[in-house]
Structure 1
Amino acid sequence: MNTMDSSRSLLPPEEEQPLSGVSDFRGRPVYRSTSGGWRSALFVVAVELGGSFAYFGVSANLITYLSGPLGQSNASAAAAVNAWSGTACMLPLLGAFLADSFLGRYPSILLACALYILGYGILTVTVASSSAAGGPSLAQVAFLYVSLYLIAFAQGADKPCGLAFGADQFDSDDPRESASRSSLFNWWYFSMAIGISVAIAVVSYVQENVSWTVGFGIPFAIMFCVCAVFLLGTPTYRLYAPSPGARNPLARLARSLVKDDDDDKESSEEARGVLRLLPIWATCLAYGVAYAQIMTLFNKQGRTLDRRIGNSGLEVPPAALQTLGPVTILLFVPMYDRAVVPALRRVTGNPRGMTTLQRIGAGMAVSLAALTIAAAVEGQRLERVREQRAVMRWTWVVPQYVAMGVADVLAVVGMQEFFHGEMPEGLRSLGLALYLSVMGIGGFISSALISLLDGITRRDGSQGWFADDLNRGHLDYFYCLLAAISAVELTFFLCFSRSYAYRRNKPLPLLC
């Protein structure tokens, strides 16, 4: 084939019409045969998979770095990690607004890529320089936190847009592309669980057994590569022009809250639609608090255990125990889809097995069980320490990690589906951000609780609940307190859920 024939083969057939409302990155019309589909979506999946890998590669073991090389106390390190992760989960609210109103999804992801590379780059250089100096200076600590919050801002620009932009590459009006679009959602969550599992296991091992510099450098290298991959797909992307009604959704909502007249009936309805979600949202916050313990106090608890595998002498890093959650997700998702849902369908008559609110409530109940188990295990561990018995094996904490993995499948997916589906049409892009804010505010609440209780429990001269030597602390008391808070919020959640009216389908009743 000569050069002219090759160039002609790349052109769309003359009879093919350009896709309506879609353009490429230069504003030119695009055609189905030369754009979108899996050829484009996989580039987006790459950057999102890399983003999750990098974020959890840092966050899973960050408390160990702060309380180790940086010399912070357990309480201050846990509070700092909770505040940072909470910020990373809250910023998608701002990112969703900016993407829908001004930037668009593709430019938002480009901005996120730049912030990711800058943040992880500064983090790597800061850790390397502080290691070379034998310890961090005040300026280096400041740069460390600057880098972490650059990553948080990158999360804010990326998370509301990544999955949505990937879905944009499939035409929902085309039967074949619509089926592929559904597959994207399924494989997206599955792929994220794999990436998180590998990141936690591999990166945490490198950090503690090779060097912190290499351990933090791996996420930087991964993000640099996947951002380059994302750029390679640019010529094939489908960019949708925003609809007029979708612009400035928060501004329109704010106007409707202070202006309720016949001239703005649609906005007033949107405001009421969002306000009726707030009681459900507020009672989900206890789940966000429970979730915040996985990367912080569960990690510190694991460090006190015998983590050897058999007689091999190989010791599992405490952060690597967090892989039990994603592994549980990988195992439970097919089980839930193939066994649990059909069984529930026969009992409830609901095609999905149970309503989204029932699914969230079940997840909250399982997270309550996880906190109760964690309290019991920690109480048993402290009793062994007092009696000078053998150190507890790492297998004792497996149930609490597994329970949180099951809770994740139920509550997290339920919240994603609920807040997206129940959000008014013009505000649906904020649904994912609203779910993420549950995790974000949960992190802030956990941070505030730890700081407050640490101050209170140290007043009598003791080392407090969060003592640097956990054998002298009382994490079991803190877990019991969180379990009690979760039980109270679960009760309120069930009451609000019972009276909630879905936008489309009548829900099955929840008992209060």
Structure 2
Amino acid sequence: MDSRRQQQKGENFSEELTVDWRGRSSSSKKHGGMRASAFVLGLQAFEIMAIAAVGNNLITYVTNEMHFSLSKAANIVTNFIGTVFILSLFGGYLSDSYLGCFWTMLIFGFIELSGFILLSVQAHLPQLKPPQCNMLTDGDRCVEAKGVESLIFFVALYLVALGSGCVKPNMLAHGGDQFSRSEPKKLSTYFNAAYFAFSVGELVALTLVVWIQTHSGMDIGFGVSAIVMAMGLVCLVSGTVFYRNKPPRGSILVPVAQVVVAAFLNRRQTSQSNLPMPHESQNEHWNNMSMSNQTASLCHTDRFRFLDKACIKKHEVNNNNTKESPWRLSTVNQVEQVKILISVIPIFACTIVFNTILAQLQTFSVSQGSVMNNQITKSIQIPPASMQAIPYILMIFAVPLYDYLFVPFARKFTGHDSGITPLQRIGAGLFLATFSMVSAALMEKKRRDSVLNSDQTLSIFWITPQFLIFGVSEMFTAVGLIEFFYKQNLKGMQSLLTAMTYCSYSFGFYLSSVYVSLVNKVTTRSMDGGWLGDNDLNKDRLDLFYWVLAGVSLINFMNYLYWARWYNNSSETSSSCKPHLHSIEEGFTNTANTA
């Protein structure tokens, strides 16, 4: 199969019905395109600007003003960010099934806004926070937040998580919906533009907003996040008349469940032929369900053959011309779509360790910066959280260069509209992520030795490489994963599939919490408190922690190579693909099988 066929494999799309804001059929001249997606990109830039300023500097607020220990603070941050991303599944399901992208973004955008406002109020009022350490009378011990203080903090934090989690997948899906599936080049350009908007939002958050938090107080900083989020919602509403909207289709999980149940109920049924199963496009059993309606015919594949049982029809049903229940009989199209859904899970799983690395850059690497020399001049200091802006400065220039120079150049050799395939792009990012941790380990060893041996504090710029390498890695992996999921031939499930990208972030941050606790527990046998048990990085062994994570990342990359190859091989059809109007039943003819 040549490169052009490989590109089209699994992307044989038919267009879905889209409507305008009044519910009428959309027009290609009046709706959609880059004009409409620009408003969504605006929301994305403002939303990430608002939440990045909170999430990336949250560990400073939690330790300095809420007085949680470093290890507990790191877990609070990673659990919060993990919750944001796990809730993206709920947002994707709600959008595809009931609300649609636009209304989901609007409703939960206001919920996110309310969380920012409550955070700002708590940070401003002293009675809603524990007393400052220098005001205590019982020694130097700081008392962490508890009771009402803790309750208000976590309510505000998880209002932000709920809102952001449900907004994120729908921004990408709704922006992608503004383009026709027959224009893969424009769709690929949009995903690169979305990452560019993401980079701009992150850059402003990690420089300007974090500077405001540092010099004017966290209450003002959280207030700025609220204002920025409000601007994003205004941007979203402003594009209402230009959007192509995909209407919700009812529960998107019911069709998946029907195939699984039908395969189980027919598990004892066998076909009288050992020839490959035919490809068909009859949708009478699933006419109103999301995954089959208006979907191009799919070729039968040999992967997950136990699901093929769902297509076997009994003689008696066929003879009396009675329609079988969709819970007992499915079409090949329906089964193949469930197979696609299952097939992407290993690819998704391989990106979890990648996001565990990201969690370290947003927690321990910020802590590294806090004990280094962050002065540029006598009057100018760099907030440690702002170091995370470095890769986004690079990305603002790298993303346009990638889209306008690398993609056309690579396209000449690969024939792929995106230059390289999404799977190749993901793999390149996973490979580079390992070197981010190698760099972090080397720099932490140098920083620690410098303090202990010569009592010198290194410049904060020494930790630049770990952020820079990961930034390039993220440009490949994050965009590749979004494009990979969005282009799967699962109609009506684009928001849910996009949410799987964010779900990978969630599992990565949750895994980080487990990983930190596990490493600390194991290393207590050789070191009091473990590698990360002390609040003093000069006593902890963060460098060894980074080395272990680098090794895990390399193993994960090798694992990804296996599953990427498996995905390509398992996507090959078991026979030539031609549309068929037959259902699979006991004793179907050889003529049907040779189609």
Q: 50-59 or 353-362: which moved more?
A: 353-362
Residues 289-308 of structure 1 mapped to structure 2, 5 A cutoff: 289-308=356-375
> Are 2:558 and 1:491 equivalent residues in the alignment?
yes
Q: Which amino acid letter does the alignment assign opposite residue 292 of structure 1? A: A
Amino acid corresponding to residue 289 of structure 1 in structure 2: T
User: Where do 1:37-116 residues align within 5 Å?
Assistant: 40-116=36-112
Q: Tell me, in whole angstroms, the C-alpha distance in 2 between the residues paired with 1:28 and 1:496.
A: 43
8 Å Cα contact 1:208-1:317 kept in structure 2: yes
Which deviates the most, 227-236 or 395-404?
A: 227-236
AA aligned opposite 1:149: Y
TM-superposed CA distance for 1:189, in Å, is 2.2
- Equivalent AA in structure 2 for residue 99 of structure 1: S
| SS class of match (2:169) | coil
User: Is residue 285–residue 442 contact of structure 1 (8 Å, CA) maintained in 2?
Assistant: yes
Task: Answer with 284-293 or 249-258: which moved more.
Answer: 249-258
211, 215, 223: which one pairs with 1:217? 223
> 1:260-409 residue pairs with structure 2 within 5 A?
260=263, 261-262=310-311, 263-265=329-331, 266-309=333-376, 311-338=377-404, 340-341=406-407, 344=410, 352-409=418-475
Aligned position for 1:202? 208
- Rate the CA distance shift 1:182–1:484 in 2: closer, same or farther, 3 A: closer
Offset of residue 205 of structure 1 = 1.4
State the 1:28 CA deviation: 5.6
Name the structure 2 match of 1:249: 252
Please say which structure displays the higher CA radius of gyration.
Answer: 2
Residue segments in structure 1 that go unaligned for 5+ positions in a row:
1-19, 507-512
Q: Is the 8 A contact 2:44 2:197 kept in 1?
A: no
In the aligned structure 1, how far is the partner of 2:244 from the partner of 2:411?
A: 38
Say which SS state the counterpart of residue 429 (structure 1) adopts.
helix
Q: Distance in 1 between matches of 2:244 and 2:421?
A: 34
Aligned length: 480
Q: CA deviation at 1:355?
A: 2.7
Deviations 1:10-59 (A, max 9, x none): xxxxxxxxxx9555545467667766556654443332221111010101
Conserved? CA contact 2:96–2:496, under 8 Å: no
Matched-pair contact (CA < 8 Å) for 2:359–2:508: yes
Q: Which residue of 1 aligns with 2:150?
A: 141
Distance in 1, Cα, partners of 2:358 & 2:548:
15
SS of alignment partner, residue 362 of structure 2? coil
2:116 to 113, 120, 128: 120
1:12 corresponds to: none
Deviation at 1:442, TM superposition (A): 0.4
Inter-partner Cα distance in structure 2 for 1:155 and 1:149: 9
Residues 456, 503 of structure 1: CA spacing in aligned structure 2 closer, same or farther, 3 A cutoff? closer
Q: Give 2:295's aligned residue.
A: none
Could you say if the C-alpha distance between residues 131 and 402 of structure 1 is closer, same or farther in structure 2, counting changes exceeding 3 Å? farther
Change (3 A) 1:493 1:185: closer
Tell me if 1:439 matches 2:442.
no
Contact conserved, 2:45 with 2:201, CA < 8 A, in 1?
yes
Deviations 1:253-282 (A, max 9, x none): 133223222221333222211222222222
C-alpha separation in 2, matches of 1:341 and 1:129:
52
Cα displacement (A) at 1:138 = 2.5
Distance in 1 (CA, whole Å) between partners of 2:207 and 2:101 is: 32
Deviation at 1:68, TM superposition (A): 1.3
Alpha-carbon separation, structure 1, partners of 2:349 and 2:234? 39
Report the Cα offset of residue 233 of structure 1.
Answer: 4.2
The residue type equivalent to 1:259 in the other structure is: A
Alignment TM-score, normalising by the size of structure 1: 0.85
Shift of 1:130: 3.5
Structure with greater proportional helix content: 1
Moved more, 270-279 or 392-401: 270-279
Tell me the alpha carbon deviations over residues 155-209 of structure 1, each in whole angstroms, 9 at most, x when there is no partner.
2221121233234455678x9xx98776544433212211110111112112122
Q: Decide which moves more: 29-38 or 84-93.
A: 29-38
* Kept in 2: contact 1:86–1:439 (CA 8 A): yes
Identity %: 30
Unaligned runs of 5+ in 2: 1-15, 133-144, 264-309, 312-328, 574-595
Secondary structure, counterpart of 2:538 in structure 1? helix
**Given that residues 24 and 239 in structure 1 are in contact (C-alpha distance below 8 angstroms), is that contact kept between their aligned partners in structure 2?**
yes
Secondary structure of residue in 2 paired with 1:470: coil
8 Å contact kept, 1:111–1:157: no
1:452 is displaced (CA, Å) by: 3.0
Could you tell me which residue of structure 1 aligns to residue 261 of structure 2? Answer: 258
Is 1:465 aligned to 2:550, yes or no? no
Cα 1:343–1:379, aligned 2, differ >3 Å: closer, same or farther? farther
Deviation at 1:220, TM superposition (A): 0.8
| Matched-pair contact (CA < 8 Å) for 1:306–1:391 | yes
CA distance in 1, matches of 2:93, 2:246: 16
Change (3 A) 1:26 1:499: closer
After superposition, give the CA deviation of every residue in 1:306-344 in whole Å (9 maximum; x if it has no partner): 1121x4441100000000121122232234345545665
CA contact 2:185–2:418 (8 Å) conserved in 1: no
Cα deviation digits, residues 413-468 of structure 1 (max 9, x gap) = 11112222235345333221111111110000001111333344457783432221
* Residue type of the alignment partner of 1:306: N
Report the secondary structure of 1:161's partner residue: helix
CA RMSD of aligned residues (A): 2.9
Match of 1:452 among 506, 518, 522: 518
Q: Is the 8 A contact 2:172 2:498 kept in 1?
A: no
